[in-house]
Amino acid sequence: MRHVPKDVVARHEALIREIAAHDRSYYVFDAPTINDRAYDRLYAELVALEREHPALVRPDSPTQRVGGEPAAGFARVKHPRRMYSLDNSYNEADIREFMARAREALGGALAPIAWVVEPKLDGASMELVYRGGRLALALTRGDGVEGEDVTANVRTIRSLPLAVPCDGEVITRGEVFIHCADLAAVNAAREAADDPPFANPRNAAAGSLRLLDPKEAASRPLRIHLYELVAAPDHPDTHLGCLALLAALGLPVHGMQKACASEDEVIAALGAFAAARPSLPFDIDGAVVKVDDLKLRERLGSTARFPRWAAAYKFEAEKAETRLLEIAVQVGRTGALTPVAVLEPVQLAGTTVSRATLHNEDEIRAKDIRVGDTVVVEKAGEIIPQVVGVAKAPDAERGPAFVMPRRCPACGARPSRGEGEARWRCPNRLACPGQLKASLVHFASRKAMDIEHLGPSLVDQLVDQGLVRDVAGLYRVGEADLEALERMGKKSAENAIAAIRASRARPLHRLITGLGIPLVGEVAAVPLAARYGSLSRFAAADPEVERAELSAMFGIGDKIAAAVADALADERFLGVVRELLELGIDPAAEAVAGGPLAGASFCITGALSSPRHAVQERIRAAGGEVHTAVKRGTGYLVAGADVGKAKLEKARALGTVVIDEAALERLFAGGKP
């Protein structure tokens, strides 16, 4: 290396290797081989060498884990090989049926199949590509065909080597996760900064990967375990061999896989993982059963949605018992009154639960849930805590049956319950602080304006202190206003204001979603944004014209058209929109005219390998138009599994071309179906 003494180069190389080895011992094996002070001295020496000799800096240096300016967004990149989801099984019979199908597909008379059972980590799926021995690309799962390039954030994971001893291309997949204990520390810091805590480790991992600033991502204690080798020189013939190769390359693997020679051994391994679940430092939501022989995997192939050589065994939702202290009633942005259980805090699925949904008054009465009871709580989908029933009534006399309050708890208005509806609603739409708070939280949500640092507790203070009276008021708040609030220091105020300012750049469909028009979610907002093109043109639209014309638009229909027209006729709603315009917030619709599907229209029916909304978003992002039903002018009907004959006949009668998912992928690539 020019102008750098050989002994300095050698010392630099030795430091990189030594620091990487210590990182691996600490973050992968939880067995530190050096104390923090000694580690810091090594790192400081490395920094000093690179500062004195900039030519030494290279991509795999530990000093380069975090660098560069925050990203404006994440580019979508096609996976080298499609990332399938796994078919879910929920009991022993399902797993035995899966293994029997595999045996039958392979001829039945084959020698016993060798299986591998491993834990199903509850995190964010990730694909890594190493080229020339160095980490070149990290992609989220996305829709399985394309993922988001989050390489800069993944480089901050200290358990992941930035270089491997292999010159050829290595493609591997794994799960990014956070230890439960680490999540508790992260949430404590977030609450101190008035940010909403993460609901569980999975949300924390996924949210950290999508931070635009790698320096902020580096502050999160992310880890990764790799569970699949997609490509490598001298690729082994078995899954167990692949895991051994990953470990030999210095890549982090969990090492918990169990080789099984029979179906009974597979069932026993599943039971062992279920029993070990509470003692693990990280969350698992099940186990995965895989065929070990890769050649047999090729013979088994995949369906349109799942590989036939693997299945996920999902554990039952965790349950816990605790005492019901109170039934509170919260007000939603539409005025809906929802009863919420206030509980003695209890550990459930890796988090502390102190509140849970009770759904509605009828549900509470049907389950006869009363204050003072010991209730059973579980996490629906392991995310939302809910009370599922009474475990034990108190020995003394039980409390009275629950009755919904006859006054809105936020504003005192008399709620009403429409015929056939399960919920009571507060009618005070214009002045109810509860509805305003919920509207602000919705406006700041990821599906809408995606405003970091604007959580429920900060929203509560903004409304209670009279600083914000509608969503437009967020853009009038200053740092001094926030610094005067409880638990809001200068840095927290700066972060919140910076996030609010950044939201000004969101496209029109995100703003329309955030405005909270009834029935208009993130899907319907896209064609509306395309129709108006800007917020100013939306504000100037004639309500009665829109009522008639919107209903004829694909993806809208009569009910949404009426809701939009009613909003445009509402002077208070228009007042908020005009205030946003006065503040210089007039976003345009995202332009996709140059995409490979520009000018084409699609309707989707049947089961696809990705969620339908994800496929619709890909079509729109590629310039195509999405129709909710086959109508005259629909160009293509994308037909997945279990399509009804009537839909196919209607498509053919109207001249709509029927294609499968593979043909749609060819269109995305610019080809012909």
Catalytic residues: 120
**The tokens of 210 are what?**
């999508």
Half-sphere exposure of 309 (CA within 13 A, CB side): 20
Task: Check residue 194 and give left, alpha or beta (phi > 0: left; psi -120 to 50: alpha).
Answer: left
Q: How far apart are CA 515 and CA 449, in angstroms?
A: 10
Spatial contact of 620 and 565, defined as CB atoms under 8 Å apart:
no
What is the rounded distance in angstroms from the CA atom of residue 63 to the CA atom of residue 587? 39
Q: What gap in Å lies between CA 235 and CA 166, rounded to an integer?
A: 12
Tell me how far apart the alpha carbons of residues 254 and 597 are, in angstroms, rounded to a whole number: 42
- For residue 191, count other CB atoms closer than 10 A to its CB: 14
Distance CA 610, CA 533 (A): 29
- Which two tokens mark 308? 């036939």
Query: Could you give the CA distance from residue 601 to residue 657 in angstroms, rounded to a whole number?
Result: 10
- Cα–Cα dist 580/471, whole Å: 9
3-state secondary structure of 314: strand
Beta-carbon contacts of 114 under 8 Å, excluding residues fewer than 6 positions away, are 238, 259, 260, 261, 291, 292, 293
Separation between Cα atoms, residue 22 and residue 28, nearest integer Å? 10
Backbone angles phi, psi at 226, to 5 degrees: -95, 140
Angle between helices 557-568 and 543-550 (to 10 degrees): 170
DSSP code string of 289-311:
EEESBHHHHHHH-B-SSSBTTEE
Reference 351, options 466, 559, 199, 453; nearest CA is: 199
Give the integer Cα–Cα distance in Å for 22 and 26: 6
Alpha-carbon distance of 367 to 364, in angstroms, equals 5
Could you count the other beta carbons within 10 Å of the beta carbon of residue 473? 18
Looking at residue 292, its amino acid is D
Alpha-carbon distance 607 to 314, whole Å?
21
d(CA 258, CA 260): 6
Torsion of CA 251, 254, 255, 260, to 10 degrees: -120
SS (H, E, C) 365-419: HHHCCCCCCEEEEEEECCCEEEEEEEEECCCCCCCCCCCCCCCCCCCCCCCECCC
Q: Give the other-Cβ count within 10 Å of 589's Cβ.
A: 22
Backbone phi, then psi, for 3, in 5-degree steps?
Answer: 65, 10
Kindly give, in sequence order, each residue whose CB lies less than 8 Å from that of residue 54, ignoring residues fewer than 6 positions away: none
